[in-house]
Amino acid sequence: MDKGAASMYKILIVEDDPKIADLLKAHIEKYGDTAIVIHEFDRVLEQFQLHSPHVVLLDINLPSFDGYYWCRQIRQVSTCPIIFISARDGKMDQVMALENGADDFITKPFYYEIVMAKIHSQLRRVYGDYAAKNEERTVEQGGLILYPERMELHFGERNVPLSKKETILMETLMERSPRVASREDILEKLWDDAFVDDNTLSVNITRVRKRLAELGLGEALETVRGLGYRLNINAKEPKK
């Protein structure tokens, strides 16, 4: 299978709920990949062959034929990774899916992060393509650049190292900016690393403020009482 532009993958979404399909598509495209939503559920195989995607997201309950059927059909022509997405969470459903040739299974309701992580793990596994995805991920906001993997924050010429928690915190703040990142949002992200409480959050906010001050952005992180924190750097210019 050929890839288009570097790190552009095609993901085929076979989901009969149009809203879920569109929301998934929007989220996948936010990460720079292409998503194709299928509307003709009696011609899934043709659509598959037409688009030759890198990954297929497949619902079990579909009009006319079910997801297992299409999974078997696709398996006869391709080894493309197939991830089932279904509200059925019984052991038998998952076993059936895997036995019909699926590579993974996600149950509804799901978090975007999990869908994205599973898509990317399949991409890595099948296309072995660390290189394209290995282009270092960065988060940018008003001249401020965060390197989450290196755990470094750059602003103009200066840069400061961050701890793991500070990195997660900074990433959330930057993604939300200029909106407020709520206490809940930040804690939710931090909990993927460790279960921290409000005190630890305050301590880390203080530390991030210190790091920002080192970059000459002393006032950039505001506390919004009762809501959370807002990162506001647009007003400032990097000092050379």
Partner 1 sequence: MKLFIREHLPLMIFTLVQLLAVLAVFWFDGYDHPLTALYALFLGLFVFAGYLGLRYATHRGFYARLSRPVASLAESVHKHEPAPLPAALSDLMENQYRQYQNMLQHWERKNEQYMTFLNQWIHQMKTPLSVIEMITQDGGDERMGSISEETDRLRRGLDMALYAARLDTFEQDFSVDNADLKQLVNEAVHEYKRYFIRSHVYPEVLIEEGISVRTDAKWMRFILGQLLNNAIKYSAGSGKKVTISASWEHRDVILEIRDRGVGIPKEDLPRVFRPFYTGANGRRFKESTGMGLYIVKEVIVKLNHRIELESAEGEGTLVRIRFG
Distance CA 41, CA 38 (A): 7
Q: Is 159 in the site for partner 1 (CB under 8 A)?
A: no
Report the candidate in 35, 36, 32 with the shortest Cα–Cα distance to residue 5: 32
Size of the site for partner 1 (CB under 8 A): 31
Residue 111 is a binding residue for partner 1 (CB under 8 A): yes
Q: Which stretch binds partner 1 (CB under 8 A): 130-138, 144-152, 177-185, 213-221?
A: 177-185
> Is residue 87 within the footprint of partner 1 (CB under 8 A)?
yes
Cβ pair 158, 216 in contact under 8 A: yes
Query: Is residue 195 a contact point for partner 1 (CB under 8 A)?
Result: yes
161 belongs to the binding site for partner 1 (CB under 8 A) = no
Verify binding: residue 88, partner 1, rule CB under 8 A. yes
- Which residues touch 33 (CB under 8 Å, ≥6 apart)? 7, 8, 9, 10, 11, 119
CB of 108 to partner 1, least distance (A): 4
Q: Contacting partner 1 (CB under 8 A), which of 137, 179, 210, 239?
A: 179
Closest CA to 185 of 164, 208, 201: 201
Q: Which of 120, 222, 148 is nearest to 178 (CA)?
A: 222
Nearest-5° Cα angle at 124, 118 to 129: 150
Does 185 help bind partner 1 (rule: CB under 8 A)?
yes
Choose which of 25, 54, 176, 211 interacts with partner 1 (CB under 8 A). Answer: 176
Q: Cα separation of 177 and 233, whole Å?
A: 9
Residues found near partner 1 in the complex (CB under 8 A)? 17, 19-20, 23-24, 27, 87-88, 90-91, 108-112, 176, 179-185, 187-188, 191, 195-198, 227
